[in-house]
Chains A and B, each alone.
Chain A
Amino acid sequence: MSNNNSWDWDTGKRLVADLEPWHNEFSYMEEARISPHGENIAAIVKNEDMEFTICSQGADGSFITWENSYDKIWNLKYGPDNRLSALISDMAEWTVSTDDTPWENTYDFAWDMTFNPAGTHVSVSTQKELQYSVITNDVPWENSYSRLTDMALSPDGNHTAAVVETIPVLESEIFKFRKGCYSVAVDGTPWGTNFMNVWDPVFSWDNARVAASVRTNYQDYFIAVDGKTWNKSFTSVWMPRFSPVDKSVTAPVKTNGKWFLAKDGDIVWDRGYHQLWHHFYSRDGLKIAAIVASEFGKWTLAVDDTPWEITFSQYLTDAVLSDDGKRAACVFKDDNKWGIAVDGGAWEDKFDMAWKPVFSPDGRKVAAKVEINGAYHVVVDGTVFKTAYDHLESPVFSSDGSKLLIKGIEKNRYHREIISVKGGL
């Protein structure tokens, strides 16, 4: 995420936009998007010519639309750097427009718009004349393929990777398929090795390497790094991750009916789980957390192969570690209610839905967006704030952890609010 120090952190509640006039003006308006810093709000609308354009808040309470309008717009998103991008189409030609500036390259279709963490780079998957490729900041790959999925963008934004069909295989050519027709292309160039299947390519933190899950036949699943498989195969694997501190790669692997975490091919979490997935590192790279099922139907969070004692019967998702790796939190579902668990204990209140919790940078506080009876609330350290919003973004802590940015719409009025959370609520 981009550094938020430059944002306005003065406490108080400020009206950014009254959406009532937007609704009155446009017969067609999609859900509004709010920028990360909360200063902007925008929505896809149709103008009086029934063409698609973007409406956003103007100065002094008014609204403005993009100068350009299109046959179709979708996938409107603010990037981490607060610029607004969307996929646009005119005369069946698709491209990306950022802040109303369309790219020059156009395609028969574009999708899967992805930003790097700083927001400096935008990538999309593209199709032109049934050839598939990737373009980043209007610079396309030189190569295209008969099939392309699972596009990934490197942390610095300078590289992209995707699963590609290197040997065109016709439907029903099952024996050719089994020999391996898929690989990973990095910046358009494929690994030299083909596999029966490839999934989930991911970049290293230094942007130099790519790992992916592969299978070479129905029984042998591997992790491949830069095209070379680990020297051991497994019954199944899930998405690999690079360590932020060394060159190692870890991945959940299944062997002998149990799931483990393996590092460079060797089991490093040896407890053995009924399920293990979505592992991730703390910011310093020293701790690893993962969602696990310790037994059939018993879900919890494990940190460094130590699962919490508490388990949840239905679902566990949105796991997060504090920056120092000392604290962990997640969203769970149990007894048909959603909740938030922190450091092995569940908050008392349960919700109709809960979003990914966020730790303050010092790790002392946890905040989240939750839904109760059709309205959205902010909850901090288990205390639900009274204000009920019709729309709410997940709260954001200031870098010193003393303030919280709340971006919420109440009765068509979008406010940006900064509250102090220093020393308790």
Chain B
Amino acid sequence: MTESKAVKDTAIDDQGIIKGIEQLSPEKIERVINQVLKSETGARLKTYVDTCVHCGLCSDGCHYFLAHDRDPKYSPAAKVKQTLWEIIRKKGKVTPEFIENAAVVAYTQCNLCKRCAMYCPFGLDIAYVMSVMRRICHKLGVVPLYIQDTAHSHSVTKNQMWIKDDEWVDTLMWQEEEAQDEVENLRIPLDKEGADVFYSVIGPEPKFRAQLIYQAAVIMNAAGENWTMPSMPGWDNSDMCMYTGDYEMMERLKKAHFEAAANLKVKKIVMGECGHAFRSVYDMGNRALGWKMPPLEVIHAIEYYNDLFVKEKIKIKKKFDRPVTLHDPCNIVRGRGLHEMSRNIVNATCKNFIEMTPNREHNYCCVAGGGVINCGPPFKNARVDSGKIKAEQLFAAKAKGAEVVIAPCHNCHGGLEDIIHHYGIDMELKFFGDIIYEILELPE
């Protein structure tokens, strides 16, 4: 095994990166880089890289920089310096060791959270630059093992967790049966043509959190929703290919997702509580395929739940009485502006709400986002260490009395769970679906 510089520096042992680097030659690196820069980037990347005046105003926007005692290496501009800026300056003539470090930076030291873009006087989008770096690494075959494996799962099964077609349907039937113990004749209607709602989830739900599908079914049932879920691939709205840089697969996945819904002639897609999947369906994947906006109406669970309360389609027994705080996921807040709707739901469901500070579009990332958590155990310690700022936010909310953190995103749950555990914060994590299900008044 090559003990290369980035590995030694960070004590990281990632076979995806280490072995990937071993298969590189300077010629291959130069060819792939120039192909990506020439045919896939254009004016946007050039403008970003040329416009940056290295003023450093973005630094304080980045939780990595703050969590590492303001180490300049972790500032957004320095991440560009360690990756694309150097690549462009050297016209692609960089070494395998350079690519190794660039891969570690792009995949594991940036959550693509776009917070820094709000503090840059020019609005430069460092997340985009890091995505270009990831695209180059993907084409070079230098991708952290765990997230690469997830992307491979997508390519074979069209879901993130290697779930086989039969396992998916079996899980839905199991959840339907379980829920029927609570609500007689409740259905998770499969392939119901012409339904109003096509409910899609991410791969980890059937694999690890099947109770979320159960809860969604109970809520849909209580709301009298005409809904469906597909029995065949296209049910998973998640997308790690977007984060590895495998855009051809991202396109294949989003096509399958939209077509699963369109073939059933549904009115809209309601997505479960996931942030990155929303980014993929609402921004990246749809546009890569040629749609300015999603071809069918797509709404996040937050919009759906908010609508249920606004239209009084569900009733609650009583409000959730433990004090809660709210984590604003980057992809649906900075990416879609759903922060006020989230608060509407909190106010409709919870007695005591304590704001986390900063919040809304200024909220800090959970440090799991952008596929960083999906890079797996080799990077876990570094990730959790970088969660110091998030931990401080949580401690502050706890000091004001918050006992429960609501995070309407799966990745955020993963990231916050690790932070809560590592920093000993003693708070409980919940989805909106957990809260609504708990206080829901079931119709007669």
When distances are taken between beta carbons in the complex, the residues of chain A under 8 Å from B187 are 30
B265 contact from A72, A221, A353, Cβ within 8 A: A353
Q: Are B164 and A127 in contact (CB under 8 A)?
A: yes
- Chain B, 135-160, contact with A by CB distance < 8 Å: what is the 0/1 string? 00011010001101100110111000
The distance in angstroms between the C-alpha atoms of A169 and B289, with both chains bound, is 30
Q: Are B156 and A174 in contact (CB under 8 A)?
A: no
- Chain A, 370-392, contact with B by CB distance < 8 Å: what is the 0/1 string? 01000000000000000000000
Q: Are B166 and A315 in contact (CB under 8 A)?
A: no
- Chain B, 161-182, contact with A by CB distance < 8 Å: what is the 0/1 string? 0101110011001000000000
Q: Are B166 and A197 in contact (CB under 8 A)?
A: no
User: Which residues of B219-261 are within 8 A (CB) of A?
Assistant: 231-233, 246, 248, 251-252, 255
Q: What is the minimal beta-carbon distance from B369 to any residue of chain A, in angstroms?
A: 22
Q: Are B165 and A174 in contact (CB under 8 A)?
A: no
When distances are taken between beta carbons in the complex, the residues of chain A under 8 Å from B267 are 352-353
* Between-chain CB contacts (< 8 Å), 11 pairs: A31-B189, A108-B166, A109-B169, A111-B166, A171-B162, A174-B149, A196-B155, A236-B248, A257-B39, A297-B291, A371-B194
For B39, B138, B141, B248, which residue has the most chain A Cβ atoms within 10 angstroms?
A: B248
CB nearest neighbor in A for B155: A197
Interface assignment of A147: CB less than 8 Å from any CB of chain B: yes
User: Which residues of A204-258 are within 8 A (CB) of B?
Assistant: 215, 218-219, 221, 235-236, 256-257
Q: Are B194 and A28 in contact (CB under 8 A)?
A: no
The distance in angstroms between the C-alpha atoms of A333 and B190, with both chains bound, is 25
Contacting chain A: which of B4-12, B88-96, B292-300, B387-395? Answer: B292-300
CB nearest neighbor in A for B157: A149
The distance in angstroms between the C-alpha atoms of A46 and B138, with both chains bound, is 52
Q: What is the minimal beta-carbon distance from A8 to any residue of chain B, in angstroms?
A: 26
CB nearest neighbor in A for B265: A353
When distances are taken between beta carbons in the complex, the residues of chain B under 8 Å from A274 are 290
Give the interface size bracket for A toward B.
Answer: 35 or more
Interface assignment of B334: CB less than 8 Å from any CB of chain A: no
Q: Are A72 and B173 in contact (CB under 8 A)?
A: yes
When distances are taken between beta carbons in the complex, the residues of chain A under 8 Å from B246 are 218
A175-B19, A197-B156 known; A317-B262 Cβ under 8 A: yes
A75-B231, A112-B165 known; A315-B265 Cβ under 8 A: no
Interface assignment of B192: CB less than 8 Å from any CB of chain A: yes
Q: Are A177 and B152 in contact (CB under 8 A)?
A: yes
Q: Are A236 and B292 in contact (CB under 8 A)?
A: no
The distance in angstroms between the C-alpha atoms of A277 and B155, with both chains bound, is 19
Q: Are A275 and B289 in contact (CB under 8 A)?
A: yes
When distances are taken between beta carbons in the complex, the residues of chain B under 8 Å from A313 are 292
Interface assignment of A281: CB less than 8 Å from any CB of chain B: no
Q: Are A275 and B149 in contact (CB under 8 A)?
A: no
Interface assignment of B335: CB less than 8 Å from any CB of chain A: no
The distance in angstroms between the C-alpha atoms of A72 and B185, with both chains bound, is 13
When distances are taken between beta carbons in the complex, the residues of chain B under 8 Å from A296 are 290, 292
CB nearest neighbor in B for A274: B290
Chain B contacts to A: CB under 8 angstroms? 15-16, 19, 39-40, 138-139, 141, 145-146, 148-149, 152-153, 155-157, 162, 164-166, 169-170, 173, 185, 187, 189-192, 194, 231-233, 246, 248, 251-252, 255, 262, 265, 267, 289-293, 295-297
The distance in angstroms between the C-alpha atoms of A108 and B153, with both chains bound, is 23
A109-B170, A127-B164 known; A172-B231 Cβ under 8 A: no
A174 contact from B152, B162, B189, Cβ within 8 A: B152
Interface assignment of A414: CB less than 8 Å from any CB of chain B: no
The distance in angstroms between the C-alpha atoms of A224 and B341, with both chains bound, is 49
Interface assignment of A299: CB less than 8 Å from any CB of chain B: yes
Q: What is the minimal beta-carbon distance from A117 to any residue of chain B, in angstroms?
A: 18
A109-B170, A353-B194 known; A147-B164 Cβ under 8 A: yes
Q: What is the minimal beta-carbon distance from A253 to any residue of chain B, in angstroms?
A: 12
The distance in angstroms between the C-alpha atoms of A178 and B267, with both chains bound, is 39
Q: Are A27 and B185 in contact (CB under 8 A)?
A: yes
The distance in angstroms between the C-alpha atoms of A165 and B248, with both chains bound, is 21
Q: Are A315 and B289 in contact (CB under 8 A)?
A: no
Q: Are A315 and B296 in contact (CB under 8 A)?
A: yes
A236 contact from B157, B251, B291, Cβ within 8 A: B251
Interface assignment of A293: CB less than 8 Å from any CB of chain B: yes
Q: Are B293 and A314 in contact (CB under 8 A)?
A: yes
**3 nearest A-B pairs in the assembled complex, by CB-CB distance:** A109-B166, A315-B295, A275-B290
The distance in angstroms between the C-alpha atoms of A43 and B39, with both chains bound, is 54
A111-B166, A219-B139, A352-B267 known; A172-B293 Cβ under 8 A: no
Q: What is the minimal beta-carbon distance from A236 to any residue of chain B, in angstroms?
A: 5
CB nearest neighbor in A for B40: A257
Interface assignment of A125: CB less than 8 Å from any CB of chain B: yes
The distance in angstroms between the C-alpha atoms of A263 and B45, with both chains bound, is 36
Q: Are A31 and B192 in contact (CB under 8 A)?
A: yes
The distance in angstroms between the C-alpha atoms of A110 and B170, with both chains bound, is 10
A112-B165, A127-B166, A315-B296 known; A199-B290 Cβ under 8 A: no
Q: What is the minimal beta-carbon distance from A268 to any residue of chain B, in angstroms?
A: 21
User: Which residues of A18-49 are within 8 A (CB) of B?
Assistant: 27-28, 30-31, 46
Q: Are A218 and B165 in contact (CB under 8 A)?
A: no
When distances are taken between beta carbons in the complex, the residues of chain B under 8 Å from A397 are none
